[in-house]
Chain A
Amino acid sequence: MINKEFFFKGFKSILAPDSPAIALGCCFIAIGALLKNLGFNIQESIFSTMLTYALPGSLVMAESLLVGASLLNIFLAVWFVNARLYPMTVSLFPLMMHKSQPKWKYYFSCHFIAVSAWLIMKSNYKNIEKKHRIDFWIGIGSATWTTAVIGTFIGFYASDYLDKNIMIGLAILNPIYFLCMMVGAMKTIQIGASVILGLLLGPIFYFLSPEWSILLGGLVGGTIAYFIGELNVN
Chain B
Amino acid sequence: MSINVVLAILVTSLATFSSRFLGAVSSEGIKETSKLFRWFNCLAYSTLAALIARTIIFPVGVLSDASYLSRAIVVLFCLFIFFISKRNFVYPTVISAIIMALLSEYL
Contact = CB atoms under 8 A, between A and B. Distances in A.
- Whether both chains belong to one complex is answered with yes
Interface of A: 17-18, 20, 22-23, 26, 30, 34, 40-41, 43-44, 47-48, 51-54, 56-65, 71, 74-76, 78-79, 82-95, 97, 106-107, 110-111, 113, 115, 118, 164-185, 190-191, 193-203, 205-206, 210, 213-215, 217-219, 221-223, 225-226, 229-230
Interface string B20-48: 11111111101110010111111111111
B37 A94 contact: yes
Interface of B: 1-2, 4-28, 30-32, 35, 37-63, 65-66, 71, 74-75, 78-79, 82, 87-90, 92-94, 96-98, 100-102, 104-105
Which among B27, B57, B88 has the highest number of chain A CB atoms within 10 Å?
Answer: B27
B30 A94 contact: yes
Contacts of B71: 172
Contact of A44 (B6, B16, B55): B6
**Which 3 residue pairs across A and B have the least CB separation, nearest first?**
A89-B23, A218-B47, A202-B50
B69 to A, nearest CB: 14
B1 A78 contact: no
Contacts of B78: 176, 179-180
B31 A110 contact: no
A198 B53 contact: yes
Is chain A's binding surface mostly helix, strand, loop or mixed?
helix
A224 B43 CA distance: 10
26 contacts: A17-B90, A22-B93, A51-B10, A61-B8, A71-B8, A75-B12, A75-B14, A78-B11, A85-B20, A86-B26, A89-B22, A91-B44, A92-B44, A94-B32, A167-B62, A168-B66, A179-B52, A182-B49, A194-B42, A197-B49, A198-B50, A202-B49, A206-B54, A218-B44, A222-B42, A222-B44
